[in-house]
Amino acid sequence: MSRIHQRSTHDEPGLQPAAQDGLGLAQVPRVLRRSLGWIVGPTLVVALGASVFVNVVSPRYTGESKLILESRDAAFARTAQERTDQLTPIDEQAVASQVQVVMSRDLAREAIRRLKLVGNAEFDPGAGSIGPVQRVLMMLGLGANPLDRPAEDRVLDAYFEHLLVYPAGKSRILTIEFRAKDPVLAAEAANTIAQLYIASLEADKVDTARYASTWLGSNIDSLRKRVAEAEAKVEAFRAKNGLVGSSGANGRPITAQQLGELSTQLSSARILKADLTGKVKAIKDLIKDGRAFEIPDVANNEVIRRIVENRIAVRAQLALESRTLLSAHPRIKELNAQLEDLDAQIKASAERVVRTMDNDAKIAAARVESLQAAVDGQQDVVVKGNASEVQLRALEREAKVQREQLESYLSRYREASARDGESATPADARVVSRAVTPEVPSFPKKLPIVTFATLLTLLLTAGAVIARALLAEGARTGGQRSGGFDPAEDRQRREPIVERPVFAFPEAMPPGRWSDASEATAAEAASTAAAEVAEAFDLAPLVARITSAPRAEDAPSGRRVLIVETQDTPGAPAFPEALTRALGVAGSLVVVELNAPADQIQDLGFTDLVAGKAAFLDAIQPLGDSSLHRIAAGQHAATVLFDEPDALALTFEAMAEAYDWVVCRIHAVPGAIALLELTAGYMDSVVIVSNAAAEDPALTDLYATADEAGAGQILVAQDRPAAAAEAVADSAGALRLNAA
């Protein structure tokens, strides 16, 4: 939307508007057209100069070589621990570190020697003769003599200026770029730097392996001596303290082993003694009970077995004879005597077995006593040998540690010796793209340089022109405000700011018409309207009522009138057009169409102004061949008027500041009541055009709607021509007014 917040300096003397208030966005194209020469001229000069520059300057060529950083150690070249552990991946910090390695001074000096850059005029400032100006500066102490520095140091600065090393994104690819006037030199330099970098990595690995093998070799000899000494101490201590064989299969000392064996024998003897003692007691009990033949050792005796068999036979014969003979019979007595003799033999055999077992038990007891004495003596020996065993274990641990360290050093020494070769350990980088001789120069890029310079100059010159216009407008506005208040100057200051249509249509109204109209009386306005318009309506009373309507103290200078049509008015001229022309005679006037039929094609208008999609100069048009102006309903939907109440109020205020009369029209189309309710509160007068009777409900509703919206005064006017009105019996005359 155009600027609609402007106020008069008479209302706010202290207000200092910004310089940009004097130049609207719509005026920028006109300002640029006026200064087209100041824009096109420098632009063409810069474009021509850029074209000459890109064709005269010596081209630069860029050679590009790419490396990839990766671990290239073969599996057989790594230790068992390294093969087990996963290799640490190369991260972004490692890649950035390698960039600095490529740009190191040591590598740069070697590259300068190989590329023979010393003496090259492009890189060596001391290659040519020293000019007179430089000689004078050297004599005054303001300049340094390039020949005082070593040749390679003179080339280093230029070398690093032509070298660019960077990682490709977040990958492990290193790109090496080298610029030079000679394309062959550019490609050769990129490849040489890549080769030197890889060679430096290989040399570092070889040096590391060589240093490790040298250090390990010097320490292995001394470590071998220490191992031999530690093992000799162990054997000497073992022999001195009788600990020979202390490290047997079971890892126990001999004394402890002997003590164990004695303890085992003692346990066996005690078991045997207890067994024999138990058997003797059990056999004695069986003998007392007369069951000696049940003893296993007795029953298993061959002699006893025959005796038992004879005893069984005698008992059988005795039983047989007892059937026919009495107990006093000699045969019976003989058999009983034989039976007793056999029992005595069995008992005697059992007693012999008991005596034998008793003797064995005594022998076992004696063995137990002797073994117990031997165990006690061996325990004393073991206790005495424990202290020596502790010292022996300490010496063995020391010897074991020395031996393990020696074995570790020997293993690492063999691995380091295997890596101590030029090709045994490849570098952790390899070339993936060698530089080739470039055919197209990397500088200058002719078309981009010329285009960029031309566009930049165009933008700068256009900005300078607009800035100059803003500064000039600000100076002019400041000069006007420094003096006293002049209404004419104040109106001239405000008119361009709100983009008055007089600038777009200077022929619409002659100068001086605005101020003259403000001084005309209501009667003169009515008579002038009747004379100029020559219409058939008697508008003098209506114009007088509208002109004399009360207004708020802080209201803008222009009056706002709303004409509400209740039906189409066929015939020409229509009442709204006649009233508009009559009011336009009294001052500057703009007609605002608040709505329009749906089938009517609309230009940019009022809804576009409220929505901020158009400026006043775009929306204001001349009204026919008259000096009045018109604003169409607009291309945006009427809903924007309800959605933007603040913008609607500011738009009405801006038009009232710029015009003496703001006449708004609401046509008899759907939605007219809502527009009346929305806009009536902003109007000084609302004119309802209707031929209906005063008691008509529809007319009463329109009147009530305007009254509730807060309109200043509400007038109801009939649109009958004056000639026809005379035939109507109406005491109010041709025009019936209903003033609120």
Least confident of 33-37, 84-88, 509-513, 646-650: 509-513
Identify the residue with better confidence: 159 or 221. 159
Q: How confident is the model at residue 591 (pLDDT cuts 50, 70, 90)?
A: very high
Structural domain contains residue 531: yes
Backbone angles phi, psi at 193, to 5 degrees: -65, -40
Could you tell me whether strands 589-593 and 629-631 are parallel, antiparallel, or unpaired per DSSP bridges? parallel
Identify the residue with better confidence: 68 or 17. 68
Question: Would the pLDDT of 500 be above 60?
Answer: no
Identify the residue with better confidence: 192 or 78. 192
The pLDDT of residue 409 is 85
Least confident of 28-37, 135-144, 157-166, 651-660: 135-144
Distance, in Å, from the CA atom of 661 to the CA atom of 653, rounded to the nearest integer, reads 12
Is the preceding omega at residue 573 within 30 degrees of 0, hence cis? yes
Structural domain of residue 162, as residue ranges?
Answer: 61-215+424-433
Q: How confident is the model at residue 511 (pLDDT cuts 50, 70, 90)?
A: very low
Percent of the chain with pLDDT over 90: 18
The pLDDT of residue 109 is 92
Percent of the chain with pLDDT over 70: 73
Q: Which H or E run includes 260? A: helix 254-288
The pLDDT of residue 726 is 40
At 79-98, the pLDDT tens digits run 555 555 555 567 788 888 99
Token pair 């300096």 in the structure block, residue = 9
Q: How confident is the model at residue 485 (pLDDT cuts 50, 70, 90)?
A: very low
Question: Would the pLDDT of 417 be above 60?
Answer: yes
Q: How confident is the model at residue 542 (pLDDT cuts 50, 70, 90)?
A: confident
Identify the residue with better confidence: 299 or 472. 472
Identify the residue with better confidence: 552 or 693. 693
Distance, in Å, from the CA atom of 439 to the CA atom of 154, rounded to the nearest integer, reads 29
Q: Which H or E run includes 736? A: none
Token pair 């609607």 in the structure block, residue = 648
Q: How confident is the model at residue 299 (pLDDT cuts 50, 70, 90)?
A: low
> 630 near 623, Cβ under 8 Å?
yes
Q: Which H or E run includes 297? A: helix 296-299
At 368-415, the pLDDT tens digits run 888 888 887 777 767 766 767 778 888 888 889 989 988 888 888 887
Which residues are registered as beta bridge partners of 661?
A: 559, 589
SS3 431: strand
Question: Would the pLDDT of 451 be above 90?
Answer: yes
Q: Are 609 and 684 within one domain?
A: yes
Is the preceding omega at residue 444 within 30 degrees of 0, hence cis? yes
Structural domain contains residue 232: no
Q: Are 340 and 397 within one domain?
A: yes
Nearest to 454, CA basis, from 54, 152, 120? 54
Identify the residue with better confidence: 567 or 537. 567
Structural domain contains residue 119: yes
At 105-148, the pLDDT tens digits run 999 999 999 999 988 888 887 665 566 666 667 667 666 666 66
Q: How confident is the model at residue 323 (pLDDT cuts 50, 70, 90)?
A: confident
Structural domain contains residue 457: yes
Nearest to 77, CA basis, from 422, 416, 427? 416
Distance, in Å, from the CA atom of 5 to the CA atom of 67, rounded to the nearest integer, reads 66
The pLDDT of residue 484 is 44
Residues 145-163, mean pLDDT to the nearest whole number: 80
Distance of CA 531 to CAs 490, 581, 647, Å? 32, 11, 38
Q: Are 504 and 493 within one domain?
A: no
Structural domain contains residue 656: yes
Q: How confident is the model at residue 193 (pLDDT cuts 50, 70, 90)?
A: very high
Distance, in Å, from the CA atom of 722 to the CA atom of 734, rounded to the nearest integer, reads 5
Question: Would the pLDDT of 160 be above 90?
Answer: yes
Among 369, 384, 419, the domain-final residue is 419
Distance, in Å, from the CA atom of 70 to the CA atom of 704, rounded to the nearest integer, reads 89
> 470 near 22, Cβ under 8 Å?
yes
Structural domain contains residue 732: no
Q: How confident is the model at residue 692 (pLDDT cuts 50, 70, 90)?
A: confident
Q: Is 190 exposed, middle or buried (0-12, 13-18, 19+ CB in 10 A)?
A: buried
The pLDDT of residue 13 is 36
Classify residue 26 by its DSSP letter.
G
Tokens of 313: 């036979």
The pLDDT of residue 77 is 54
The pLDDT of residue 723 is 40
Distance, in Å, from the CA atom of 329 to the CA atom of 318, rounded to the nearest integer, reads 11
Which residues are registered as beta bridge partners of 299?
A: none
The pLDDT of residue 64 is 94
Q: Which H or E run includes 441? A: none
Distance, in Å, from the CA atom of 35 to the CA atom of 56, rounded to the nearest integer, reads 32
The pLDDT of residue 452 is 94
Among 419, 454, 480, the domain-final residue is 419
The pLDDT of residue 148 is 64
Identify the residue with better confidence: 194 or 382. 194
* C-alpha torsion angle, residues 538, 543, 548, 551 (rounded to 10): 150
Question: Would the pLDDT of 505 be above 70?
Answer: no
Those residues whose C-beta lies under 8 Å from the C-beta of residue 735, and which sit 6 or more positions away, are 537, 538, 539, 541, 542, 717, 718, 725
Q: Are 685 and 548 within one domain?
A: yes
Least confident of 56-60, 250-254, 545-549, 581-585: 250-254
Q: Is 469 exposed, middle or buried (0-12, 13-18, 19+ CB in 10 A)?
A: buried
Q: Are 518 and 640 within one domain?
A: yes
Q: Are 516 and 454 within one domain?
A: no
Distance, in Å, from the CA atom of 487 to the CA atom of 497, rounded to the nearest integer, reads 15
Nearest to 546, CA basis, from 590, 584, 495? 584
Neighbours of 172 (CB within 10 A): 18
Q: Are 514 and 656 within one domain?
A: yes
> 419 near 193, Cβ under 8 Å?
no
Least confident of 167-171, 339-343, 443-447, 719-723: 719-723
Q: Are 52 and 167 within one domain?
A: no
The pLDDT of residue 44 is 93
Question: Would the pLDDT of 504 be above 80?
Answer: no
> 62 near 181, Cβ under 8 Å?
no
Structural domain contains residue 243: no
Q: Are 187 and 137 within one domain?
A: yes
Could you tell me whether strands 163-167 and 173-180 are parallel, antiparallel, or unpaired per DSSP bridges? antiparallel
Helix axes 672-679, 645-658, angle to 10 degrees: 70
Question: What distance lies between CA 450 and its chain's CA centroid?
Answer: 38
Mean pLDDT over the full length of the chain: 76
Distance, in Å, from the CA atom of 124 to the CA atom of 162, rounded to the nearest integer, reads 13
Q: What are the helix (H) ranges across 129-253?
A: 132-139, 151-162, 183-240
Distance of CA 514 to CAs 74, 533, 662, Å? 98, 19, 14
Structural domain contains residue 240: no
At 634-645, the pLDDT tens digits run 988 888 889 888
Q: Are 544 and 398 within one domain?
A: no
Q: Are 525 and 466 within one domain?
A: no
The DSSP secondary structure of 658-713, one letter per residue, reads H-SEEEEEE-SSTTHHHHHHHHGGG-SEEEEE--S-TT-HHHHHHHHHHHHHT-SE
Structural domains of the chain, count = 4
At position 505, the amino acid (one-letter code) is F
Among 383, 404, 433, the domain-final residue is 433
Distance, in Å, from the CA atom of 70 to the CA atom of 92, rounded to the nearest integer, reads 13
Q: How confident is the model at residue 271 (pLDDT cuts 50, 70, 90)?
A: confident
Distance, in Å, from the CA atom of 520 to the CA atom of 608, rounded to the nearest integer, reads 34
Question: Would the pLDDT of 586 be above 80?
Answer: no
Q: How confident is the model at residue 698 (pLDDT cuts 50, 70, 90)?
A: confident
Q: Are 137 and 275 within one domain?
A: no
At 272-296, the pLDDT tens digits run 888 878 777 777 777 777 666 666 7
Distance, in Å, from the CA atom of 175 to the CA atom of 197, rounded to the nearest integer, reads 12
The pLDDT of residue 597 is 76
Classify residue 716 by its DSSP letter.
E
Question: Would the pLDDT of 198 be above 50?
Answer: yes
Q: For residue 699, what is the domain's CATH number? A: 3.40.50
Residues 305-331, mean pLDDT to the nearest whole number: 81
Distance, in Å, from the CA atom of 695 to the CA atom of 625, rounded to the nearest integer, reads 40
Q: E-assigned strands of 57-120?
A: 61-69
